[in-house]
A and B are shown apart, each in its own frame.
Chain A
């Protein structure tokens, strides 16, 4: 088993290398290294831009890679928070419906901002229409989608926590069944909404894309959105990391040691929901990443949350950037959406987890 420190250093060093590789290698061809570095420096305001087309390509690839890094880190962090909170390795954000809740919230925001909401949110109903329309497209949409996603994610975590906990104990079968029920309900609602707005091509496509996950055509706004949410969620880590370890013995035992269990639960739920909602807001629903990455990190460096939580951010980032890099390098124009890749990989991983933990699963 690796020490958390050496694994952390490896991941932190690997991330910028993978981001640079992602900028070099893409569907439209391979850039040389100096061009890549100059283009990245220009995108960050540290140098003159490349010839127009090359600079556009570099920037598209850079925002794509940085968004992927943020989304990977956020989903992995959310997964570790949720698994620690429910004291179960199968409780990933997508399995218990958190990313589904965030998708539902984000879709509601898209509908509201597209003219399907109350009059005060639509430019046409406002006497100062043009001004509000500008505000709507420039800033409000960027803010409302993650905000609604957050509300959806928090709502699902509270629902799942309430239904699956009794006297401080989590019932794993109830947890997973609640996740199935929540995911089914959300899928139903999203299908209903999609069918109702089928004639509005832009809106139905936006909702459709959200349900499969996408990292194409991301901008600096997406990068800032996901990394801001991730930074806020990460700020919670020092306040809950040891406490989540102590919660392994149950809420009563943790309380007897002096842990404020209610505070730890609220902070962890808030941080998990915020991280998942930030990821869903910029990339849609990418299933199973929050399940796979925490398990890989646990296998590599142990189960303690004091190391697992900080490792989740570079770990998830390296994982999704790496998956996207391979996806684009090998499949080029046929590259799959990240949500599709993760569903294929993660679904098999989930089945393997169940198969290898048969004895434990049989005792539920």
Chain B
């Protein structure tokens, strides 16, 4: 699947009344990429991922996933992607095992495969010690692991993750990262949003940055770094490498806000 276009958008726009949350975005993600989608709060990240996964209708523009138009072939597209959305898409009154069984069947897996993968995923995610506990009684981290398990049960070619590591402890995060990297080595594409730039820098090969609804940067980390370093007046750190945080702040202009001072605060 590598080098084929996995996700592409053309002039993708979403308006909420007067507000243009996503403005004419042309995005291209190649197959096999671990793609980080970044932006400040309210920049349009969640709106974008919701549109890419079919949870939100675009106001205009096109989305193609694995070369298929999402608007006209939504069922086919949904069958080949996995999603961990912001709300986690869980049914609180099922146990973890019942939930995964339900998800497997909704994705068309047969009875045996569903049961087998459910068991494997529960063990992998270390969720086997609470077989009778309802999902609603899980901690947030456990719910997130379950949502991740549900997103991969059908073996998706593309995985969309909205803040996958938020609220997850270091051990669980390690488990999830290992799973995601194994998926990448097997040719899957992963598209994630995160506020934790260190994680994105460590995991992702490519990033895009959205600010005020517009796509302001896109490429591999090296390409973005080289682009900034090539500009005049940019101070390159002594170790000779700009971090993703520095790249991000340079592109979205965050340093200016940090310089401000609220004089009435002690």
Q: Do A and B come from one complex?
A: no
A residues within 8 Å of B by Cβ? none
B residues within 8 Å of A by Cβ? none
